[in-house]
């Protein structure tokens, strides 16, 4: 595979999977001590990657779950953020400015902080009440963060008696690192073709629904815009029909991500509509990939993880086609802001 280290990938994703038991133990302890709610509070892409876990809890649990932008919460606070809150702060670097400021505020309040980081010797790696460290870099962080936050959500469901097959789901998730590697291998020959579509336009409408919508948003903002300087319009598949559809015409690229949760029909609606008005609809569907031993329920849960692992292969080819390394920046962490 192009610019890819298989053993490094397996090591990082297996590291994320190995955090499952400790995450479950910490969540169980927090709940036993009277935790009343949970906040997922990150910055930029790391915050977006928490959203499938937030969605899962919103739809399957009566335990209050909140999601907010770290920079806003530092300014406004929240009536629901108390010493009885669990706060999850993800940051790959462990140094994200807005999240470090948030950590200080949350510690003043006395909430229990779980930090998910790639580096231990950092403000967030050292500052959380419970720091979960799994080294990763930009090309491997999505799967790692998705998996860790999914473990947190599943643990809450388990300890509250809101799920009856926790052990079976977690057992399937432990198979995921090796299965994702298989997905990458399978897709490699097709990745360049998809990358050529992305390289062929300076503007894309990127859409999806359900738990893959965050990946659509993430890929548009953090990869195509930040790392490739390609303009995008990420829009939820439901909202697509309340504004964005008026921009669809011949020559306009629409990129549709499809997952396997119950909200797949919202993506089907876009897929049915778009070909009548543009000649540039491209669909990436997790259902096309074999995941031996993974049940339909778990396939739905891990759809954003599968998308992320495929999109990494596309990005690897995209940077070569455009002669624009994914590490190139004009402003991000290069100028004062």
Here the CATH number for the domain that contains residue 291 is: 3.40.50.10490
Q: Is there a single domain that holds both residue 37 and residue 69?
A: yes
Partnered with residue 235 across adjacent β-strands are 207
Please give the pLDDT value at position 58.
98
SS3 40: strand
Residue 185 makes CB contacts below 8 A (sequence gap 6+) with 1
Domain that holds residue 22: 6-163
Please give the pLDDT value at position 279.
98
pLDDT mean over 18-38: 98
Q: Which tokens sit at 153?
A: 């959500």
pLDDT mean over 190-215: 98
d(CA 148, CA 8): 18
Q: Of 102, 129, 163, which residue is a domain's last? A: 163
Q: Which tokens sit at 302?
A: 């891990």
Q: How many domains does the chain have?
A: 2
Buried residues in 40-57 as b, exposed as e (16+ CB within 10 A): bbbbbbbbbbbbbbbbbb
d(CA 166, CA 24): 11
Does the pLDDT value for residue 154 go beyond 90?
Answer: yes
Please give the pLDDT value at position 204.
98
Q: Is residue 76 part of a domain?
A: yes
CB of 38 within 8 A of CB of 156? yes
d(CA 249, CA 264): 24
Q: Is there a single domain that holds both residue 63 and residue 145?
A: yes
Taking only the tens place, the pLDDT of each residue in 203-261 is: 999 999 999 999 999 999 999 999 999 999 999 999 999 999 999 999 999 999 999 99
Does the pLDDT value for residue 337 go beyond 90?
Answer: no
Confidence band of 302 (pLDDT split at 50, 70, 90): very high
Q: Is there a single domain that holds both residue 237 and residue 265?
A: yes
Q: Is residue 174 part of a domain?
A: no
Strands 37-42 vs 253-258: parallel, antiparallel or unpaired = unpaired
Please give the pLDDT value at position 69.
95
pLDDT mean over 16-27: 98
**Nearest residue to 124 (alpha-carbon basis) of 150, 144, 151, 97:** 97
CB of 65 within 8 A of CB of 40? yes
More confident residue, 337 or 328: 328
Q: Is there a single domain that holds both residue 243 and residue 312?
A: yes
Residue with tokens 């930009």: 138
CB of 169 within 8 A of CB of 151? no
- Considering the entire predicted model, what is its pTM? 0.97
Q: Is there a single domain that holds both residue 148 and residue 219?
A: no
Q: Is residue 175 part of a domain?
A: no
Q: Is there a single domain that holds both residue 93 and residue 219?
A: no
Q: Is residue 276 part of a domain?
A: yes
Average pLDDT, the chain: 98
DSSP-derived letter for residue 128 is S
Taking only the tens place, the pLDDT of each residue in 63-98 is: 999 999 999 999 999 999 999 999 999 999 999 999
């Amino acid at each position: 595979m192009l610019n890819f280290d298989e053993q490094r990938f397996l090591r990082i994703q297996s590291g994320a999977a190995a955090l499952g038991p400790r995450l479950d133990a910490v969540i169980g302890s927090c709940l036993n001590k009277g935790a009343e709610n949970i906040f997922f509070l990150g910055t930029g892409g790391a915050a977006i990657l928490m959203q499938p876990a937030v969605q899962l809890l919103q739809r399957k649990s009566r335990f209050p779950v909140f999601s907010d932008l770290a920079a806003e919460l530092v300014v406004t606070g929240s009536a629901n953020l108390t010493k009885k809150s669990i706060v999850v702060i993800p940051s790959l670097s462990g140094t994200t400015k807005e999240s470090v400021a948030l950590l200080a505020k949350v510690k003043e309040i006395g909430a229990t902080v779980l930090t998910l980081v790639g580096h231990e010797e950092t403000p967030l790696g050292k500052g959380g009440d419970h720091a979960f460290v799994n080294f990763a870099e930009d090309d491997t962080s999505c799967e790692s963060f998705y998996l860790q936050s999914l473990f947190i959500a599943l643990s809450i469901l388990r300890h509250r008696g809101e799920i009856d097959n926790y052990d079976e789901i977690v057992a399937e998730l432990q198979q995921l690192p090796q299965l994702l590697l298989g997905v990458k291998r399978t897709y490699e020959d097709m990745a360049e073709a998809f990358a050529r579509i992305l390289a062929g336009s300076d503007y894309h409408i990127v859409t999806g629904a359900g738990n893959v919508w965050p990946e659509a948003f993430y890929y548009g903002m953090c990869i195509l815009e930040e790392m490739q300087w390609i303009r995008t319009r990420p829009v939820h598949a439901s909202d697509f029909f309340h504004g964005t559809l008026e921009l669809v015409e011949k020559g306009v690229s629409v990129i549709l991500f499809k997952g396997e949760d119950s909200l797949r029909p919202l993506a089907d609606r876009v897929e049915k509509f778009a070909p009548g008005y543009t000649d540039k609809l491209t669909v990436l569907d997790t259902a096309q990939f074999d995941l031996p031993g993974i049940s339909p329920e778990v396939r739905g849960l891990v759809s954003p993880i599968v998308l992320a692992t495929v999109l990494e292969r596309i990005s690897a080819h995209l940077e070569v086609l455009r002669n624009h390394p994914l590490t190139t920046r004009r402003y991000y962490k290069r100028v004062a802001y």
